[in-house]
Amino acid sequence: MSRVQLINQADTSPNRQALLAQIHKAFGATPNMFKAVANSSAALESMWGSFGALSSGVLGAKLGEQIAVAIADRNRCEYCLAAHTVLGQGAGAGAEEMSAAQAGRSTDPKTAAALAFALKVVSNRAQLSDEDVSELRAAGFNDEHIVEILAHVALNIFTNYINVAFDVPVDFPKVALNPVR
C-alpha cells in the first residue's frame, strides 16, 4: 500500500487533471508513480517535463532506458526496474540487453561506458574525476551527451526515491532485482 495517496485524475485540480491526462495518453493508462507524484502539482510538472525533455534528447530512448534500469537496480527500485524494462523493450532493446544494462553491462562499448559513468555518479554521489569524464569522451560522447547522461541520472534518482520512499505499488510486469553487491 502506498504511503501517500494515489491521486485519481477525476478528483484533483484542473492543472493536475491536464497533466495526468497527458500521462494517460502517453502510456495508455496512468502509472501509479505519477498518481503518487500528483500529490504535488510542482513535482508532477517537474517529473513529466523532465521525461518529455529527455525523450527527445541526443542519447535516444534506448540508452535512456538502459541507464534507468541500471540506476533502478542500484537504488533497489522495483517499480522503476519494471517500468523501464518494458519501456526499454519498447525502445528497441532486447530482453538480454535490458538484463545486462540492469547489471551495468553492455556488449556495446559506448553503452557500457555510459552505464559505468551513470552508476559511478550514483555510487559516488557525483564525486567524479577528470578521468571519469575523459573516459566518456574517449567512448565517443561529447559534452552535450555527458550532461544529458547526468540529467537521466538525476531524473531516475528522483523517480526511484519517490517509488521506494512511498512504497508505490508496481503496476508493470515485475522484474527481479539483482542480488545486493
Total domain count, the chain: 2
pTM of the model: 0.96
24: containing domain: 13-55
**Is residue 77, in this structure, part of any structural domain at all?**
yes
Query: What integer pLDDT is reported at residue 99 of this predicted model?
Result: 97
**Is residue 178, in this structure, part of any structural domain at all?**
no
Ramachandran region, residue 88 (left: φ > 0; alpha: ψ -120 to 50; beta: rest): alpha
Query: Do 138 and 112 form a contact (C-beta atoms < 8 A)?
Result: no
Mean pLDDT by 10 residues, the chain (181 residues): 95 96 97 98 98 96 98 98 97 97 98 98 97 98 98 98 98 95 66
The CATH code of the domain that includes 152 is 1.20.1290.10
Query: What integer pLDDT is reported at residue 136 of this predicted model?
Result: 97
Name the H helices within 75-129: 78-90, 95-102, 109-123
**Is residue 176, in this structure, part of any structural domain at all?**
no
Query: What integer pLDDT is reported at residue 180 of this predicted model?
Result: 81
Whether residue 89 sits in one domain with residue 18:
no
Give the torsion sign (CA, 165, 173, 94, 59).
negative
